[in-house]
Amino acid sequence: MKLAVLKERRDDESRVAATPDSVKRFTAQGIEVVIETGAGDGASIPDSQFAAAGAKIAPDFKSALDGADLIYKVRRPTAEELAAMKPGAGLVGLLAPYADRESLKAYAEKGLLAVSMEFIPRITRAQAMDALSSQANLAGYRAVIEAAHLYGRGFPMMMTAAGTVAAAKVFVMGAGVAGLQAIATARRLGAIVTATDVRPAAKEQVASLGAKFVAVEDEEFKQAETAAGYAKPMSAEYQAKQAALVADHIAKQDIVITTALIPGRPAPVLVTEAMVASMKPGAVIIDLAVEQGGNCPLSKPDELVRTNSAIIAGFSNLPGRIAADSSALYAKNLVNLTPLLVSKEGAFAPQLDDEIVKGAMLTNNGSIVHPTFAGGA
């Protein structure tokens, strides 16, 4: 069986879907691994390291894809890459089907078994395959590092002979995987951290990291989490109450990091223009939801927006700004998924009835099979 790993071409993506360690694991199983030349450059993995691990280096994506039974990618393929794939092959990546539903038709027409890593079920058995969590963890960390870079002052309180430097006040909005890592990182840097989330379970998690929880804790708040652990859309009434609570709080903050996302829906607005205007001069907002419209209406993808009071940064690919580690974690997610797609003998044999494969499978045998998208939904 041939496994192809391509150089990413979308959105200046610097991650790669394999590492020398994952290549060694695959080749030990009898899988032929072909890496497109330069695929690991953005993650500081030269072709020579892949070759030393047992991979063949292809001069271009067409050569890499020639006869490939399984293709591992970070982002969804370009039209040119898709055209070069073998009908019936397996395609695995962060395929972002909500952002490009037309791509599912193309996968189906090509006869691909398309597996989207965003849809790996949140069950215990699949934790080691959960790419959303592995990448969000690094995004939360990197968000704080970017904020520290943009903020014109230090994070920790520092007592010097010349006087005392006050600790930065950091407010994290959304305490999922990215938010919790942002809280932990800001605390390590010495900031005074507060956080908010609509999920009741987040309160204890926030407190365990040494941050103060800020939220309207009414009956709707108590029912604001799905069985899968995601935040439910909140009513306009609740959002208004929450906005009133945090508006005064935001005016006192130095850094605000927003992480609130709802799968398949536009990101909720958490920081209004009026809130931005109330912030201290030199304050920083990092909007992790910018690709889904942003938690702040002023944020723009991959641009720094400067107002009279704040700097608003919307980095659309924070994991890509720490590409070596994010690639390593993503590659491990794929290694852990591979036994469900490849037999012990090294043949492409997806376990279509397994709940993990079924949950993440978008297309198969010429049809869109995921219930969210089947039937043109």
Catalytic residue chosen out of the listed positions 49, 63, 133, 351: 133
| Confidence band of 274 (pLDDT split at 50, 70, 90) | very high
Question: In the chain, where are the structural domains located?
Answer: 2-129+322-366, 139-321
127 is catalytic: yes
- Residue 163 region by backbone torsions, left for phi larger than 0, else alpha for psi between -120 and 50, else beta: left
Q: Which pLDDT score is estimated for 230? A: 66
Contact (Cβ atoms closer than 8 angstroms) between residue 171 and residue 251 = no
- CA 226, 229, 230, 232 dihedral sign is positive
Write down the residue that tokens 């909720």 correspond to. 268
Catalytic residue chosen out of the listed positions 11, 100, 208, 230: 230
Q: For residue 282, give the amino acid letter.
A: G
Taking 90 as the threshold, does the pLDDT of residue 283 lie above it?
yes
CA distance 211 to 244: 21
Q: Which pLDDT score is estimated for 256? A: 98
100 is catalytic: no
CA distance 260 to 290: 10
Strand extents, DSSP E, 168-326: 169-173, 192-196, 212-213, 255-258, 283-287, 304-306, 310-313
Provide CATH code, domain 2-129+322-366.
3.40.50.720
230 is catalytic: yes
Residue 345, classified by CB atoms within 10 Å of its CB into exposed (0-12), middle (13-18) or buried (19+), is exposed
Q: Which pLDDT score is estimated for 374? A: 85
133 is catalytic: yes
The predicted-structure confidence for 180-235, as pLDDT tens digits, reads as follows 999 999 999 999 999 998 888 899 999 999 999 998 888 888 777 776 666 677 88
Mean pLDDT score of the chain: 94
Predicted structure pTM score: 0.92
- HSE of 12 in the Cβ direction (CA atoms, 13 Å)? 9
Q: Which pLDDT score is estimated for 131? A: 97
- Tell me 103's DSSP state: H
CA distance 18 to 196: 36
The predicted-structure confidence for 246-272, as pLDDT tens digits, reads as follows 899 999 999 999 999 888 889 989 999
The predicted-structure confidence for 304-357, as pLDDT tens digits, reads as follows 999 999 999 999 999 999 999 999 999 999 999 999 999 999 999 999 999 999
Catalytic residue chosen out of the listed positions 9, 10, 101, 122: 122
| Confidence band of 377 (pLDDT split at 50, 70, 90) | very low
**Looking at domain 139-321, what is its CATH homologous superfamily?**
NAD(P)-binding Rossmann-like Domain (3.40.50.720)
* Fold matches, 2-129+322-366 and 139-321: yes
The predicted-structure confidence for 45-69, as pLDDT tens digits, reads as follows 999 999 999 999 999 999 999 999 9
239 is catalytic: no
Catalytic residue chosen out of the listed positions 12, 100, 125, 127: 127
